[in-house]
Amino acid sequence: MIFNLPSINDVNLEGLKTLVRVDFNCPIDKEGEILDETRIKAHLPTIKKLLDSNSSIVLITHQGRPGSKDFVSLRKHAEKLSELLGMEVKFIEDVMGPAAQEKIKNLRVGEILLLDNVRFVSEEIIEAPPEIQKQTYLVRRLAPLFDMYVFDAFATAHRSQPSIVGFPLVLTSVLGELMKAELSALEKVMNTAEPPKLFVLGGAKVRDTIKIVEYLTKKRIADRILTTGLVGLTFHVAKGGRVGKSVINFLEEKGLTTLIHRARGVVLSGAPVDTPYDLKVLREDGTVVEEPIHVVDGKPMDIGTYTVSMYSELIKEAKIVVMRGPAGYIEDPRFRKGTEDLLRAALESNAFVVIGGGHLGVMLKDVKAKSIHISTGGGALLLALAGEPLPAIAALEQSTKKFLGWKYED
């Protein structure tokens, strides 16, 4: 996994008009207020770099999906960005119509404009190959107004939508600072040979995580894979571990029993998977107890103390740690401890640590340390860790060949 793509540091941006694909997709409350601005903050280095290079900047992003409560207009996002940058950020309630086009044409060097939610344009919802996406109205109307396209939205890199894969085919395209940081963290994780390389995989996305375990095993990338959450329960049963009836019922309720067979196949192929020894359990009468996994009687809600301490010891000795997905049901404060303790062990280790976005990213929101990378990617990170091609990267490679004459091996 080697990403060889130009970034904003490799081109002269002086006086250019740049179209920057960001991912400002934030959690939104019922009143439409932004609940967490981590995703916006993550793009500040790119925006500041473009400002320093005297370019004029037009930002394009989605927010939510049609029909969902967080599918909203982006005025609040522009206000938040303006507050974070300490300068005016212009906003227009339009994406590609005459009003937006006029505003883009009149934008001067050093100014920033945020277009409205790109998913208000129905073409953006359709996934198709880049050759199709470059012919959309969105791309045909907007591309002629720009000198360069900057891709900075790692969290969307698994989508093949016009604003992601269409523009690179018609404009010189480079990576932004966030994208560069995400790709170099991934490269370090996948390519560094120094063992032990540890993956701590939890959460509820069991199907996707099995694919990751499969890939890490096939390519001999992981020295050890410590599983937690629903992933841990599934692999425990797949390994032939004994469990109480309530754990089987729980897996059935979550529709996970069909994945046990697949997980077993991965285990039999030699996957270096560890599973939890004990769990924190919610009993039917509402009490919370810790029990060894084979005698659990109730709902498994978190990993237990013994598992935390065994896993923490391994994490502290590792050279590279990748953590994705919570160890338990962290929405309830009674079941956050397992996840918090494992995160603490990772932070206290001397390892290079990559934390998968989502829940874990939010828990570490204000942590700043040199050897930690908190990824903004959800689905995109899952795909990348499973060794699957990211459409955004493929489109950027095509662009680099076409406009900058770079060559890639097929």
Which positions lie near ligand 3PG, rule CB under 6 A? 23, 25, 65, 155-156, 159, 378-379
* Residue (136 or 275) nearer to ligand 3PG, CB: 136
* Residue (308 or 380) nearer to ligand 3PG, CB: 380
Closest-CA residue to 323 (of 313, 311, 309): 311
Distance CA 173, CA 150 (A): 6
Q: Please give the structure tokens belonging to residue 396.
A: 């950027």
The amino acid at 392 = A
Least distance in Å: CB of 325 to ligand 3PG? 14
Distance CA 84, CA 178 (A): 16
Least distance in Å: CB of 241 to ligand 3PG? 32
Least distance in Å: CB of 125 to ligand 3PG? 9
Least distance in Å: CB of 159 to ligand 3PG? 5
Which single residue is written with the structure tokens 């989605």?
62
Distance CA 200, CA 303 (A): 13
Least distance in Å: CB of 112 to ligand 3PG? 21
**Pair 133, 361: CB distance under 8 Å:** no
* Residue (272 or 379) nearer to ligand 3PG, CB: 379
* Residue (225 or 381) nearer to ligand 3PG, CB: 381
Sheet holding 112-114, edge to edge: 90-91, 112-114, 56-60, 17-21, 148-151, 173-175
Distance CA 125, CA 35 (A): 24
Least distance in Å: CB of 391 to ligand 3PG? 12
Q: Please give the structure tokens belonging to residue 231.
A: 């992933």
* Residue (53 or 156) nearer to ligand 3PG, CB: 156
* Residue (237 or 395) nearer to ligand 3PG, CB: 395
Least distance in Å: CB of 22 to ligand 3PG? 10
The amino acid at 192 = T
Give 190-238 as a DSSP string.
HH---S-EEEEE-SS-HHHHHHHHHHHHHTT--SEEEE-HHHHHHHHHH
**Pair 21, 152: CB distance under 8 Å:** yes
* Residue (159 or 373) nearer to ligand 3PG, CB: 159
